[in-house]
Amino acid sequence: MDPAAAKLIGAGLASIALVGAGIGIGTIFGNYLAGALRNPSAAPGQFANLLLGFALAEATGLFGLVIALIILFVF
Amino acid sequence: MPDPMHQFEIKRLINLEFIGLDASFTNSSLFMVIAIACIAFLTIWGMRGRALVPTRMQSVAEISYEFVANMVRDNVGSAGQKYFPFIFSLFMFVLFCNMLGMTPYSFTVTSHIIVTFALAALVFIGVTIIGFVKHGLGFLKFFVPSGVPVALLPLLVVIEVISYLTRPISLSVRLFANMMAGHTMLKVFGAFVVGLGLIGGWAPLAFMVAFTGLEILVAFLQAYVFAILTCIYLNDALHMHH
């Protein structure tokens, strides 16, 4: 295979990591909403944890994106 | 399509050399200086009145102070008050760099891994030193989880050490990747608006308006996460909760 093509395919494959970030963010916000609707008075207290969980979940997907960018621009 | 990575290019504004090292004043340095100037302006000029009923500027300065003070109090406790100035500076610097980056034609300092890694390494080394000064060699117990079978310990200690050592990498890559991915995406969609022209360009333009709002949220959120994770790491070092 042409190395340039292999590089592009590899970068594309590395971006699949963002699927996991999508699932993670969806789970966090979905569960937060489910919990908040059951007990609305407890919801504001957990907002900081929600944001923290969102950022942590998003970051794991972005690590994959960084690998894709490294493949594209460094090698 | 214009290169979406062009916006991250570092340009030398003033050429400087310091004992054989390239210490030029770049556009990155310029935006760091602007960020620091904005923070100093907000906190010093904003608080000059010290009014009981604050003006708008004073309100913003007080809200940001309160916000970080509550974060430190909730996550580290009273022992963390000593480290409040550092966490406040860190939070404000990252926040202002992210927000200045949202201005069109500006430069995002935090979209360069070397900047975020330097900040994260500073936090990591500082927190490790605090842990060893506070607990002596007892800080090494941090890597030994309590209440697990002895047979599993060799494996778990290795995992704990690795997870501790990856902290600066995850802390820096999180901020850098979020900033860079967001700005690249804005640029790519900006090129779509121009490329599709007057008839088709409205759809990506509407998306871009919404996405700019999201990016401003992310800019704040990443500064918040950076500061809160610093608090959590500091809490680990001070109290060794596991």
Q: What are the pLDDT digits (tens) for B83-96?
A: 999 999 999 999 99
pLDDT recorded at residue A47: 83
CA distance A37 to chain B (A): 24
- Mean per-residue pLDDT of chain B: 89
Query: Pairing between strand B21-22 and B12-14?
Result: unpaired
Give the containing element (helix H, strand E) for A31: helix A17-38
pTM for the model stands at: 0.87
- Domain membership flag for residue B41: yes
- Mean per-residue pLDDT of chain A: 88
What DSSP state is assigned to residue B42? I
What's the whole-number mean pLDDT along residues B103-127? 92
Its domain, for residue B235, covers 6-239
Indicate the range of B154-163, B207-216, B232-241 predicted with least confidence. Answer: B232-241
What's the whole-number mean pLDDT along residues B55-82? 91
What's the whole-number mean pLDDT along residues B113-134? 94
What's the whole-number mean pLDDT along residues B37-64? 90
% of chain B residues with pLDDT over 70: 98
Q: Which residue of B has its CA nearest to A15?
A: B181
Q: Which residue of B has its CA nearest to A59?
A: B174
Output the six-digit token pair for B115: 């900047």
ipTM score over 0.85, yes or no: no
Please indicate whether, in this complex, the C-beta atoms of B221 and A51 are within 8 angstroms of each other. yes
What's the whole-number mean pLDDT along residues B32-58? 90
pLDDT recorded at residue B147: 83
Give me the CATH code for the A3-73 domain, please. Answer: 1.20.20.10
Output the six-digit token pair for B223: 């500064």
CA–CA gap between residue B157 and residue B152 (Å, rounded) = 9
Q: Please tell me the total number of residues recorded for chain B in this structure.
A: 242
Given pLDDT bands bounded at 50, 70 and 90, which one contains residue B68?
very high
| Residues B27/B105, Cβ–Cβ less than 8 Å | no
**Is B17 strand, coil or helix?**
strand
pLDDT recorded at residue B51: 83
Mutate to test the interface with B, among A18, A50, A52 (most CBs of B within 10 A): A52
Please indicate whether, in this complex, the C-beta atoms of B177 and A65 are within 8 angstroms of each other. yes
Q: Please state at what angle helix A47-73 crosses helix B167-200, rounded to 10 degrees.
A: 80
Q: How many domains does chain B have?
A: 1
Q: Is the pLDDT of residue B242 over 60?
A: no
Q: Is the pLDDT of residue B13 over 80?
A: yes
- Domain membership flag for residue B83: yes
pLDDT recorded at residue B1: 64
Residue B73: list chain A partners with CB under 8 A: none
What's the whole-number mean pLDDT along residues B114-126? 94
CA distance B225 to chain A (A): 6
List the pLDDT tens digit at each of the 75 positions of chain A.
Answer: 788 899 999 999 998 988 999 999 999 999 999 999 999 998 888 888 888 888 888 878 888 888 888 888 877
pLDDT recorded at residue B22: 80
Please write down the long-range contacts of B48-53, taking CB distance under 8 Å and 24 or more positions apart.
Answer: none
- Please count the residue pairs, one from chain A and one from chain B, whose beta carbons lie less than 8 angstroms apart: 36
- Listing DSSP states for chain B in one string gives ---TTGGG---EEE--EETTEE--EEHHHHHHHHHHHHHHIIIIITTSS--SS--HHHHHHHHHHHHHHHHHHHHH-GGGGGGHHHHHHHHHHHHHHHHHHTSTT---GGGSHHHHHHHHHHHHHHHHHHHHHHHGGGGGGGGS-TTS-GGGHHHHHHHHHHHHHTHHHHHHHHHHHHHHHHHHHHHHHHHHHHHHHHHHTHHHHHHHHHHHHHHHHHHHHHHHHHHHHHHHHHHHHHH---
- Domain membership flag for residue B1: no
pLDDT recorded at residue A55: 80
Residue B181: list chain A partners with CB under 8 A: 62, 65
Q: Could you say which of A51, A59, A73 has the minimum Cβ distance to residue B177?
A: A59
CA–CA gap between residue B39 and residue A6 (Å, rounded) = 46
Tens-place pLDDT, residues B173-184: 899 988 988 898
